[in-house]
Amino acid sequence: MVALTRAQREAMGFDREAFLNQPPPGGPEEGYVIPTSMYLLHCQGFYKVGIAANVRSRLSTIQTSNPHKVTLERVNNYPCRAYAVMAERLAHQLLAPHRRSGEWFGGLDRRQIGAVLSEAQSAMKMLIDRHRWAEIKALRERGEWVL
């Protein structure tokens, strides 16, 4: 899927550079060590964007309380819960004009929501890479990084 264009990001009020300048998440108290996924569910023309450590279990819980078929459309995996939360917040921000209820969004087709989630995934990958390189640089400066 294709991410958003610069013009689309600007129209949505998304400043990618400001997003990429966020500090890395904290330690274990912020769920740093728990791999977590951001998921996209579809049901009756509506989409839900959320996060879970176990997406299949979350889908089962949502399906149990829903009389209509809920399908899993997409999963983006993150190394820790803190990054998944950041990705979810970004996706919700970009989808805000289409919010129908809570984490459910409507008035979009698969291509449109796919572009928004691709943008969130792309921005998160760049952010995580920046944080990793900053961590490596700090280790090198302390003499703790050896290849």
Q: Which range among 45-59, 85-99, 123-137 shows the weakest confidence by mean pLDDT?
A: 123-137
- Residue 147 located in a structural domain: no
pLDDT of 27 reads 56
List the domain range (segments joined by +) for residue 31. 6-140
φ, ψ dihedrals at 48, nearest 5°: -120, 130
Mean pLDDT estimate for the chain: 85
What's the total number of domains in the chain?
1
Rounded CA separation 122/18 (Å): 14
For residue 145, tell me if it sits in a domain. Answer: no
Residue 1 within any structural domain of the chain:
no
Instruction: Tell me what pLDDT residue 136 has.
Output: 75
pLDDT score of 33: 67
On whether the CB atoms of residues 49 and 95 are closer than 8 A, the answer is yes
In a domain, 119, yes or no: yes
| Chain segment 25-72, per-residue pLDDT in tens | 665 455 556 889 999 999 999 999 999 999 999 999 999 989 999 999
